[in-house]
Amino acid sequence: MPAAPVDLSVVVPMYNEQEVLPLFVERLRPVAEAWGVTYEVLCVDDGSTDATPVLLQRLRREWDAVRVVRLRANAGHQAAISAGLARARGAYVVTIDADLQDPPETIGEMLHVAREQHVDVVYGVREDRSSDTAFKRVTARAFYRSIRALSDVDAHVDAGDFRMMSRATVDAVNSLPESNRVLRLVVPALGFPSASAGYRRAPRAAGDSKYPLGKMLRLSIDGVTGFSIAPLRFATWLGLLGGVAALVVLLYAVVAMLLGNTLPGWTSTVVIVSAVGAVQLLALGILGEYVGRTYSALQARPAYFVAHDSLELEMPTPVTD
Ligand code: UDP
Ligand code: MG
C-alpha cells in the first residue's frame, strides 16, 4: 500500500451550513495546528443552496489544508461522508459534523488512542446526550434496539458518525459496492479492532438541524434493510403459512361436500378461491427467498476481510526505485 500523503484527513459533510461554517473553522484551526501531524480538511458540500459553497471557496484560499468536494445535489449525510471517504488521503480519517456538536478537540485524543492502542477504529461515544431532545434520544434508542434484534451488528448505542478510521478500514469501506451505506453499522460490521473516546455532545452551534424526521426515518429503514433480511423472511413465512392454511380450507371444503352438508356451488367456489390463494401465497414465499438472495448478491459484501496473512509476510518486498 502506498504511504498516505498526509497523516490525518478530517472529513466534514456540510449541507447549508453557512451560519456554522465560520465558527467551525475558527474552532478547528488552532486545534489542528496543535496535532503535530500533517493533515487535510476535506469539506464535502452536499449540494448546499445557501452561501456554503462561496464560503468554502474563500476558505480554500485562506487555509491550504482545505480541500473542497461539491456534490451536484443533496445526496444525504451518509452519502456525503462516503464521498469524503473515497477522496480522503490520510493514514487516518476522522469524520465530524460541521455544527460543532462533535468537539474538534476530541480528534487529537482519537488519534492518540488509535496509535497507542493499535486499533483501526476509534468511535466517538456520547457520554452525555442531555443536549439532544428527548424525542431524538428515544428514537435513537429504538433504532439501535431494532437493529440489534434484527441483525447481528454490534453497534454502539451512543456512537454516531464521529469516528476515526485507519487507512485499512477506509479502504474496506470504499471497497463495498453498495450505495445506501449506513456507516455506523457498516463500520462495526467490518470487525476491525476498535476502541472508543468519550465526548460531550454539545448543542448545535448555529443554524438548524439538517435531519428532519423524514431523513431520520430513511436512515433507520436503510439500516434495518441493509443489515437484515428479517422483514423479508417474515413475509416469506407468512406466505408459506397462508398457503398451507388455504390448502387446509380446500381440503375441508372437499370433505364437507363429500359428507353432503353443503349448499350447491359452495364447494366449487371455496376450492377455486383457496387453490388460487394457496398457489399465490406459496409462490410469494418462494419469490421472497430469491429476492433475498438477489439482494445480498447486489450488496456484494465480501464474505470476509483478511486481518493478517502469513503468506503475505513471506513474500519478498518489491524493489522500488
Ligand atoms: N448533512 C449533510 N447532508 C444532509 C444532511 C446533513 O451533509 O443531507 C450534514 C450536516 O451539514 C452536518 C451533519 O451532516 O454537518 C449532521 O447533520 P445535522 O447536524 O443537521 O444532524 P443532527 O445533528 O440534527 O442529527
Ligand atoms: Mg447536528
Distance 129 CA to ligand 1 centre (A): 17
What integer pLDDT is reported at residue 317 of this predicted model? 57
Q: Is 126 in the pocket of ligand 1 (CB under 6 A)?
A: no
Q: Which three cell numbers stand for residue 29?
A: 484551526
Instruction: Give the span between the Cα atoms of 302 and 300, in whole angstroms.
Output: 6
What is the pTM assigned to this prediction? 0.82
In the chain, the amino acid numbered 308 is H
Residue nearest to atom 25 of ligand 1 (CA): 211
Q: Is 13 in the pocket of ligand 1 (CB under 6 A)?
A: yes
Please name the residues in contact with 163: beta carbons below 8 A apart, sequence gap of 6 or more. 94, 95, 110, 121, 122, 123, 124, 187
Section 221-225 average pLDDT: 84
In the chain, the amino acid numbered 249 is V
What integer pLDDT is reported at residue 136 of this predicted model? 81
Distance 64 CA to ligand 2 centre (A): 26
ipTM topping 0.90: yes
What integer pLDDT is reported at residue 234 of this predicted model? 83
Distance 188 CA to ligand 2 centre (A): 22
| Model pLDDT for residues 270-291, shown as the tens digit of each residue | 888 888 888 888 888 888 888 8
**For ligand 1, what atom is nearest to the CA of residue 98?**
15
Residue 10, SS3 per DSSP: strand
Closest ligand, as measured to the CA of 204:
2
| pLDDT top residue among 212 and 130 | 212
pLDDT band at 319 (very low <50, low <70, confident <90, very high): low
Section 45-52 average pLDDT: 96
Assess contact for 252 and 293: CB atoms under 8 A.
no
Long-range contacts of range 110-118, CB-CB < 8 Å, 24 or more positions apart? 110/163, 110/164, 110/197, 111/8, 111/35, 111/37, 111/164, 113/195, 113/197, 114/164, 114/166, 114/195, 117/195, 118/193
Residue 161, SS3 per DSSP: strand
Backbone angles phi, psi at 52, to 5 degrees: -50, -50
